[in-house]
Amino acid sequence: MKECLVRLLCRHRHKKKLFLFLDYDGTLVPIAATPQMARPSDQVKQILYCLIWQKIPLAIVSGRTLQDLESMLPLRGIYLAGGHGGEIRFPDGTVTFFRNRRAEKEIDRLFSWLERLTETHRGFLLEHKGTSLALHFRQVSDARSFQLIKQVKDAWRKEVESSELELLEGRKVLEFRVKSLNKGNVVKLLWAQCPGTIPVYFGDDTTDEDAFRYLRDRGITVLVNHKEKTAPTAARYRVKGPEEVLYILSRLAGKDLATIDKSDAFGGKEEH
Ligand SMILES: [Mg+2]
């Protein structure tokens, strides 16, 4: 499939410019035990730099905060959409925030409740991201997480009607997110910035499905997940994991990565 996608993307690229949209965790960088451990390799950074250098529009679309994305990828000249689009940095450095005070208060309240609920359960990781809230349980066995996750979902069912939030179940994570913020809306907004381009979206999880649905008849959609083959998806193509995404991106960049001077892209901030 990866060679087939390389051919498809290169063929399209000859006709029109591509606009690359990439999710971060599980797509660009392998899933790690904790979000802070999922750092981009030098190879990832070099490939992204190559794509920027070639002036291919590039957006990283993630549920992480913008601040978090900026620290992981200190790159200039790309779109960074954090918090599922709640905070977007444009290539010229301007930042737009989409605020929903009522939803943010709800997130604060939920955070306090989940903090109390999980304090005696080892391995659960709670992450307050401003426009969303994530409960990670990657480090907890299924047997141990089952009861607590059920309790959270049962309690949520009573709130859902009146809430400004929605619950998404991802890969070993429950995420409460502001309803109007989703990756489909992010893609729609950013794609409008580069008319005439063909959007290409790579993503690995439930939250990427909004983007897959929006782009279904508009662009090229790729699910990055070979393990859960039966899981329904609106993506048209499928690759095995971040290593295949990287391979495809490097072929698109068409550069000898070893010869690239990346100091300009990282403003000398990176330690190598
Ligand atoms: Mg992901």
| Those residues with Cβ within 8 angstroms of residue 78's Cβ, 6 or more apart along the chain or in another chain | 48, 52, 58, 59, 60, 91
d(CA 215, CA 64): 22
Delimiting residues of CATH 3.40.50.1000 domain(s) in the chain: 2-98+182-259
Distance 87 CA to ligand 1 centre (A): 17
Distance 48 CA to ligand 1 centre (A): 17
Residue 150: strand pairing partners: none
Mean pLDDT of 231-247: 92
Distance 65 CA to ligand 1 centre (A): 13
The burial class, CB within 10 Å (0-12 / 13-18 / 19+), for 10 is middle
Distance 177 CA to ligand 1 centre (A): 15
H or E element in which residue 133 lies: strand 132-136
Distance 259 CA to ligand 1 centre (A): 30
For the cut 60, the answer to whether the pLDDT of residue 257 exceeds it is no
195 vs 17, 34, 113, CA distance in Å? 10, 37, 44
Task: Note the pLDDT tens digit of each residue in 217-226.
Answer: 999 999 998 6
Instruction: Please provide the size of the chain in residues.
Output: 272
Distance 64 CA to ligand 1 centre (A): 10
pLDDT at 231: 75
Distance 158 CA to ligand 1 centre (A): 28
The burial class, CB within 10 Å (0-12 / 13-18 / 19+), for 87 is buried
**Do residues 82 and 68 touch, judged by C-beta distance below 8 A?**
yes
157 vs 109, 133, 172, 184, 218, CA distance in Å? 16, 17, 19, 25, 34
| Listed ranges 34-38, 63-67, 260-264; the one with the highest mean pLDDT | 63-67
Name the percent of the chain in helix, strand, coil, to the closest 5.
40, 20, 40
Distance 63 CA to ligand 1 centre (A): 8
Distance 31 CA to ligand 1 centre (A): 8
d(CA 25, CA 40): 10
Distance 98 CA to ligand 1 centre (A): 21
Distance 60 CA to ligand 1 centre (A): 11
d(CA 211, CA 234): 9
Distance 104 CA to ligand 1 centre (A): 23
Delimiting residues of CATH 3.30.70.1020 domain(s) in the chain: 101-178
| Average pLDDT score over the chain | 89
d(CA 116, CA 60): 33
**Do residues 133 and 68 touch, judged by C-beta distance below 8 A?**
no
Distance 272 CA to ligand 1 centre (A): 26
Distance 171 CA to ligand 1 centre (A): 8
For the cut 80, the answer to whether the pLDDT of residue 84 exceeds it is yes
Mean pLDDT of 143-171: 91
User: Between 3.30.750.210, 3.40.228.10, 3.30.60.50, 3.40.50.1000, what CATH number should domain 2-98+182-259 receive?
Assistant: 3.40.50.1000
pLDDT at 99: 86
How far separated are the first and last CA of the chain, in Å rounded? 34
Query: CA 39, 269, 262: angle at the middle one, nearest 5?
Result: 80
Task: Note the pLDDT tens digit of each residue in 71-82.
Answer: 999 999 999 999
151 vs 39, 112, 114, 115, 117, CA distance in Å? 32, 15, 11, 14, 10
Q: What is the CATH number of domain 101-178?
A: 3.30.70.1020
Distance 251 CA to ligand 1 centre (A): 22
Distance 261 CA to ligand 1 centre (A): 28
pLDDT band at 21 (very low <50, low <70, confident <90, very high): very high
Distance 169 CA to ligand 1 centre (A): 12
Identify residue 232 by its one-letter amino acid code: P
**Do residues 199 and 220 touch, judged by C-beta distance below 8 A?**
yes
pTM to 2 decimal places: 0.86
